[in-house]
Structure 1
Amino acid sequence: MTERIDGHTILIGLMAYPIRHSMSPTMHNNAFAKLGLNYAYLAFEVTNDTLPAAIQSIRTLDMRGSNISMPNKQKVIPLLDKLDPAAEMIGAVNTIVNDDGILTGYTTDGIGFMKSLDDEGINIRGHKMILAGAGGAGTAIAVQAALDGVTEMSIFNQHDDSWENAKRNVALLNEKTNCKATLHELENRDDLKAEIADSFIYTDATGVGMKPLEDETLVTDPSWFRKDLVVFDTVYAPRTTKLMKVAEQAGVEHVFNGLGMMLEQGAAAFKLWTGKEMPVDYIRQILFDDKH
């Protein structure tokens, strides 16, 4: 790293809170080094309160851009100059590109989700999905999965600040895609159990399972799962979440964390910043072999 940084190095950021656990700096900096690109990627702990100043710093420091993660994916939109059509439809941004002071917001989370399943030989198109969560990542997953051919989706969400966004997501899918979407209360445990029993994949796009909720899971009973169900947790730190442990107890054959999704969404962002393809196989080996 020190051999690559000089007076011409271009900075790219990651703005979220908490974020010190992120694998994104490892991913992007290794990819830059592999391709001989003079960029550096750093993580910054940024909350909703400090977000406006942080976004302005992209312009001030002439950064190439930044990734955006929880809790800033929706709050960042009014601070940008333009939105990619997909980001506008989804209402969330996870990637910012700076073109001469003009900041454009993109979303690559949904692309990463679908591509990571394809990488594992799992095709959810034509099937029913249960999706917990309607935040930035959950919304991106819902829209991309529906556009790519998931035919039915049951979205579960708590009655909190994101309930209205969950309602919006369901209406959007029913209006703009061929996917039949329904909204359910996450507090209704019997409903959740019944819907999981009738689905092809259960996806958790909430923050449950990562710090400070690493000892929690929305599904605690292994009997809710069957062996041929696909269980996907968007959390990747810890590598094996409480949800994944419950699924493994149930003998579920296809259980995934969010590492593959993180890799593929990162590859999409990498291309937006550099115009080049990330060396995905090389980076996958580094990320999956890194046990820290």
Structure 2
Amino acid sequence: MGKLFGLIGHPVGHSMSPSMHNDAFRLLNQEHHYHAFDVSEKDLEAAVTGIRALEISGFNVTIPHKVEVIKYLDEVDAEAKLIGAVNTVVNVSGRLIGYNTDGEGYLQSLLKTTGDQLHNMKVLVIGAGGAARAVYTVLSRYSVSELHIANRTKEKARHLATECNQRRIEGTVWSLEEAEEQLDLFDLIINTTSVGMSPRVAELPIQLDKLKADAVVSDLIYNPLKTKLLQEAEAKGATIINGVGMFVEQGALAFEKWTGTAPDRKHMEKVVLQQLGGL
């Protein structure tokens, strides 16, 4: 008999995780099933209690529960504590253990483009929310050359940099306007905000007037596949990376934690791209 896995969040109707994971189970001849559960904020505690009672073997956590769910878990691993959010939970003999695979998933997707040159890159992270914390934490751990952050409110960015810069990598906290003026300093620019996401596809998180032609521009957004930020960066000669790779990698890492087996990442990506109309 197969096991049940799932996703809790609100809303979840748009999620591609069920298709991606159920297809991965099928390819590995595993009789498991993954289901998306729409859980409102007021029902989160009851939902986690229900997950225990039903012996659901593992689940993903998405907006708006990634932070709040921590108080209902038995254990949270060190990196998830540092990030301050959980996106993956494993049920180990009734103990719910929380992890965050977003940061490592992003790093693995990024390395496919940069390779080991990432160690030598001067990086600018745009945004200071949960996604930024995951990306900033993992890039600090990886030891990039410089790690800067820009946000509308510098105080929030400063707080993130203080907490998540594990290796004390050199870097500055900028306003968005300051970062725009210094953009030619950076080898890698990463948008972790929702600016440019469908349906607000005409918006830019930062102006690219001073972007270096040989820079890499990464956007965590994957709908649309090519945001206005990526379109403009590509037109200036930059290498661009959308958010599909991170989505697939974080999902694959969760899959491995639940099942102990590695899914076919290329096939997972194909499933996601088909849903997004990119194939």
Answer whether TM exceeds 0.5 for this pair.
yes
Residue 204 of structure 1 pairs with residue 156 of structure 2: no
Return the match for 2:32 from 25, 33, 39: 39
CA RMSD of aligned residues (A): 2.2
Residue 180 of structure 1 pairs with residue 170 of structure 2: yes
Distance in 2, Cα, partners of 1:69 & 1:217: 24
Distance in 1, Cα, partners of 2:112 & 2:47: 35
Secondary structure of the residue aligned to 2:209 is helix
Distance in 2, Cα, partners of 1:45 & 1:114: 29
Unaligned 5+ runs, structure 1: 1-7
- Tell me if structure 1 keeps the 8 A contact 2:187–2:215: yes
Secondary structure of the residue aligned to 1:49 is helix
User: Higher helix share goes to which structure?
Assistant: 2
- Tell me if structure 1 keeps the 8 A contact 2:5–2:33: yes
Secondary structure of the residue aligned to 2:189 is strand
Using structure 1 for the length normalisation, give the TM-score.
0.86
1:291 Cα offset (Å):
4.5
Distance in 2, Cα, partners of 1:225 & 1:47: 41
Secondary structure of the residue aligned to 1:245 is helix
Residue 194 of structure 1 pairs with residue 184 of structure 2: no
- Tell me if structure 2 keeps the 8 A contact 1:173–1:180: no
Return the match for 1:250 from 236, 239, 251: 236
**Deviates most, 134-143 or 14-23:** 14-23
Q: Decide whether aligned partners of structure 1 residues 61 and 210 sit closer, same or farther in structure 2, where only a CA change above 3 A counts.
A: farther
2:64 alignment partner in structure 1: 71
Distance in 2, Cα, partners of 1:291 & 1:278: 20
Using structure 2 for the length normalisation, give the TM-score.
0.89
Q: Tell me the number of residue pairs that the alignment of Structure 1 and Structure 2 aligns.
A: 276
Q: Decide whether aligned partners of structure 1 residues 233 and 274 sit closer, same or farther in structure 2, where only a CA change above 3 A counts.
A: same
The letter for the 2-side match of 1:37 is Q
Residue 232 of structure 1 pairs with residue 195 of structure 2: no
Q: Decide whether aligned partners of structure 1 residues 249 and 130 sit closer, same or farther in structure 2, where only a CA change above 3 A counts.
A: same
The letter for the 1-side match of 2:230 is M
Distance in 2, Cα, partners of 1:47 & 1:153: 36
Distance in 1, Cα, partners of 2:232 & 2:10: 27
Return the match for 2:148 from 148, 154, 170: 154
Secondary structure of the residue aligned to 1:71 is coil
Distance in 1, Cα, partners of 2:179 & 2:137: 21
1:212 Cα offset (Å):
4.8
- Tell me if structure 1 keeps the 8 A contact 2:183–2:208: no
